Chain A
Amino acid sequence: MKIAITAQDKNLDADFDPRFGRCKYFVIVDLDTEEHRVEQNEGTTALGGAGIKSAQFLAGCEVSAVITGHVGPNASRALEAAGIKVFVMDSGTVRGAITAYKEGTLTQVSGATTDSHTGLNMS
């Protein structure tokens, strides 16, 4: 299965990005093969509905879960419809996020954890 981590840079030691819709990159990890790839988030330039766009992108990548800091109401609805589970953490690296996911120490959330446009105000 594949998971995605929102990231501020393009490698495993980069800081994770607490924004979902407006995060810079998605690091997509295949937990079966331990391989990973990095995708630029097209949601960063969306006129609106960045979280929806990002959720659609992740659905296309067939990820089962995403690790991020916050999800807004629209992103949450889109992720749920796409069957993507949401796990949240406060800070750390992409590598740390993967480890924490495997150890089962991350918090899974359902529904929005923040208001719309949170990521727009965090750049």
Chain B
Amino acid sequence: MIISVASGKGGTGKTTIAVNLALTLAETEPVCLMDCDVEEPNAHLFLKPVLEGRAKVTVPVPVVNEEKCTGCGRCGEICAFNAILPLGKHVLTFPELCHGCGGCTLLCPTGAIREEPLEIGVVEWGRAGAISHIHGKLKIGSPLAPPVVKAVKNHKQNMPEDIISIIDAPPGTSCPVVASVSGSDFCLLVTEPTPFGLHDLTLAVDMVSELQVPFGVVINRAGLGNGTLVDYCKAENIHILAEIPFDRRYAACYAKGGRLIEEFPEVKKAFQDLWHEICATAERV
């Protein structure tokens, strides 16, 4: 089973929910936590895993042999990102814009284009107690997060099949988030009862609906703001799976890199209940 943890708004508590759910489940089940927020992975700050391996993530970018080029221009026509610019028989490439689709190489009639790997990030894996941990790190300056996200998810092939995977997604609703959430069996949308939390939740709901991933909402910092978030969920028939109260002690624990379920028994109970709600909701859809 794959459960992704996403949100529209940043800073709502995705990592808190993902890490504490993983810790709760790890007491009885095999669990893997995949941190797909490759621009700023932070689950390791709480899990403190011992890393066992790392692999480079690359995309294939074009290299042009101008001696073979006939200046037909097809490479430039196919590229949606303008990463290759044919000016007659002089062809410029912009590797940092390339998404590695291979279209230019495929279309070149004279075989003047070959591909070279461009490193855009790394995947690292290891263990934190009973939890398997995988995370990706996008290379600074590289704008292309989805291949690193996919590499993190692909690494799960090395895990036992019955493992429960929890994916900590990036914030927002853009390509890296879609790459993280796609293929999940269930998605937790973490939000907070503020106007920003509600606004960005509606975007996230649209995204997971489009992806046809069953989902439910976790309200973090419950007790803040007003009731419009709950009203929205009721009106849209969205299941609220759990509410984590707004509590200064929780914030202090988080700020120290602590684990909520180990310090607060009521939070542990909330995560056990959350897991039952996920299973019950996933069965209904």
Q: Which residues of A come within 8 Å of B, CB atoms?
A: 46-50, 52-53, 55-56, 59, 74, 77-78, 81-82
Contact = CB atoms under 8 A, between A and B. Distances in A.
Q: Is the interface of A mostly helix, strand, loop or mixed?
A: helix
A56 B97 contact: no
Classify chain B's interface size.
Answer: 10 to 19
For the complex of A and B, 4 pairs with smallest distance between CB atoms: A49-B82, A52-B82, A48-B81, A53-B82
A47 B81 contact: yes
Interface stretch (B85-93, B148-156, B157-165): B85-93
Interface string B68-87: 00000000100011110101
Nearest to A77: B92
A50 B85 CA distance: 12
A46 B90 contact: no
Contacts of A48: 81-83, 97
A56 B87 CA distance: 7
Given A74-B94, A77-B92, A78-B92, A50 B87 contact: no
Nearest to B91: A81
Contacts of A55: 85
A112 B94 CA distance: 15
19 contacts: A46-B82, A48-B81, A48-B82, A48-B97, A49-B81, A49-B83, A49-B97, A50-B82, A52-B92, A52-B97, A53-B82, A55-B85, A56-B87, A74-B94, A78-B85, A81-B87, A81-B90, A81-B92, A82-B87
Contacts of A78: 85, 87, 92
A50 B92 CA distance: 15
